[in-house]
Amino acid sequence: MPYNWNGDYVPSKADRSTDILGQKEIGGVGQLIYHPFRYKDYILANDNEEYCAFPVCRPGYEPDFPSDDSVSGKGLLVSLCNLARQIDDWDNKIPYDQLIIQWCKENMHPYRIDFVYQELTEEGFDIKGHDAELAARDGIFSINDFMKDLEKLYTTALFYEALEGICVADEDAACSLYKEGKYFEGLPFFESFKNIHSMPDIDVSTAGGNLVKEMELYAEYQKSHPAKQPPDGQFEEEPYDNYWELLNKLIERTPDFNMCLKVNPKTNRIEFSADVNSVFDIAWFTLARMISEDPAPENKGLSNDDRSEGIMICCRHCGDFLIRRNGRQEYCDKPDCQKARNAKNQREFRRRKRIENAQKQKKNTPKT
Ligand SMILES: [Zn+2]
């Protein structure tokens, strides 16, 4: 409304140069406020034929409330992706329901977090009484739902890694994205680039110049000669040429977020915050923020590509997810992975030295 109460015209303060209101324009938007809590234990059982985790909430099993700092959005995103990796690993022998429960006990309760948090922190909450029964019942969640939510997050995170990779000409992750895990199916978005599309050179003289007949001949040829697959680890067509199409697929897979007012327990102030109800909402919101901080694709991999929030990468040695501390980090902190990093650095150092020496020798060779 460009008029004030007195009917005077008031010029708009909005920046007309952009129609996108980001965090910088509004300020404070994009806060992530949630209330972590952990049940001490869960019982796995059927609830109306749905296999569920039932929280235990009674004397001796009081839920605990980790400080907000110990449960960050990035930490949850990374640990959920690593949980999925472990569940999906063919070599893993621990049943996935056990791994999920273990994750919840170590990190936080996964669903209806704000609702149950309010019940647990209500004044006069009685762990011996009906309150505790309610708080336990409201925390019941389906293991199947958890697996479905986890699969979507995990496969999208892998897709994100693969997309980041192709921007810096590292296509390993993209090539192996479509693989069958133990429970989760990889996304097929890069598969079309592996096929050989070029038209074969065949004899179409029998068509007598009729274009439709020629196309039929080509179609017949292709039916009897299925597309050859290039060797593993290679693309026939450059996926980077289709970057925007791929990026749109990533955006489509990211859920929408509702915004609402929430009290920030750290400041006791009301803030405009994403409405998150599950750990998956938190993880998605964190991932979406990461994606929104991405530089333009042509600027990725440059020395100044140090995104302030840090992005999630997969360790080149063990494959675990981690938050990169700086633009050059490629390995996690595990001793074996650091060893692999040192070995690679040494190899590269020796290679550079060899090239240098070869060039020096070339210079010193007297010209004939
Ligand atoms: Zn590692």
Residue 119 lies in a domain: yes
Check whether residue 288 and residue 307 sit in a common domain: no
pLDDT value of residue 293: 77
Span from the CA of 269 to the centroid of ligand 1 (angstroms)? 40
Span from the CA of 145 to the centroid of ligand 1 (angstroms)? 29
Other residues' Cβ atoms within 10 Å of the Cβ of residue 188: 9
What average pLDDT score do residues 143-148 get? Answer: 97
Span from the CA of 335 to the centroid of ligand 1 (angstroms)? 8
Residue 200 lies in a domain: no
Contacts of 296 by beta carbon, 8 Å cutoff, 6+ apart: none
* pLDDT exceeds 70 at position 222: no
- Please tell me the least confidently modeled range out of 4-13, 71-80, 252-261: 4-13
> What is the span of the domain harbouring residue 138?
41-192+236-292
Residue 327 lies in a domain: yes
d(CA 170, CA 163): 9
pLDDT value of residue 68: 64
Span from the CA of 17 to the centroid of ligand 1 (angstroms)? 44
Tokens read off for 204: 């179409």
What average pLDDT score do residues 85-108 get? Answer: 95
Check whether residue 241 and residue 344 sit in a common domain: no
Check whether residue 187 and residue 63 sit in a common domain: yes
Most confidently modeled range among 67-71, 233-237, 340-344: 340-344
Check whether residue 185 and residue 284 sit in a common domain: yes
Residue 363 lies in a domain: no
**Cα-flanking dihedrals φ and ψ of residue 10, to 5°?**
-120, 115
pLDDT value of residue 231: 54
The domain tally of the chain equals 2
Span from the CA of 314 to the centroid of ligand 1 (angstroms)? 8
Span from the CA of 286 to the centroid of ligand 1 (angstroms)? 22
Check whether residue 137 and residue 167 sit in a common domain: yes
Check whether residue 103 and residue 120 sit in a common domain: yes
Domain boundary among 248, 273, 292: 292
Check whether residue 184 and residue 123 sit in a common domain: yes
Domain boundary among 292, 321, 339: 292
d(CA 100, CA 320): 17
Most confidently modeled range among 9-18, 118-127, 206-215, 354-363: 118-127
Span from the CA of 129 to the centroid of ligand 1 (angstroms)? 47
Check whether residue 240 and residue 131 sit in a common domain: yes
Span from the CA of 43 to the centroid of ligand 1 (angstroms)? 33
Span from the CA of 175 to the centroid of ligand 1 (angstroms)? 20
Span from the CA of 241 to the centroid of ligand 1 (angstroms)? 30
pLDDT value of residue 27: 39
Domain boundary among 292, 318, 334: 292
Check whether residue 276 and residue 314 sit in a common domain: no
d(CA 168, CA 37): 40
- Please tell me the least confidently modeled range out of 80-94, 133-147, 187-201, 255-269: 187-201
Check whether residue 141 and residue 185 sit in a common domain: yes
Amino acid in position 228 = K
Span from the CA of 183 to the centroid of ligand 1 (angstroms)? 23
Contacts of 85 by beta carbon, 8 Å cutoff, 6+ apart: 154, 319, 320, 321
Give the burial class of 161: count Cβ atoms within 10 A of its Cβ; 0-12 exposed, 13-18 middle, 19 or more buried.
buried
Tokens read off for 106: 């170590």
Check whether residue 68 and residue 88 sit in a common domain: yes
Residue 328 lies in a domain: yes
Contacts of 64 by beta carbon, 8 Å cutoff, 6+ apart: 37, 38, 40
Check whether residue 267 and residue 308 sit in a common domain: no
Span from the CA of 337 to the centroid of ligand 1 (angstroms)? 5
Residue 206 lies in a domain: no
Contact in structure between 53 and 141 (CB atoms under 8 Å):
yes
Residue 90 lies in a domain: yes
pLDDT value of residue 135: 95
pLDDT band at 213 (very low <50, low <70, confident <90, very high): confident
What average pLDDT score do residues 17-31 get? Answer: 45
**Cα-flanking dihedrals φ and ψ of residue 21, to 5°?**
-95, 105
> pTM of the entire structure?
0.76
Span from the CA of 344 to the centroid of ligand 1 (angstroms)? 14
* pLDDT exceeds 70 at position 8: no
Residue 27 lies in a domain: no
Other residues' Cβ atoms within 10 Å of the Cβ of residue 244: 9
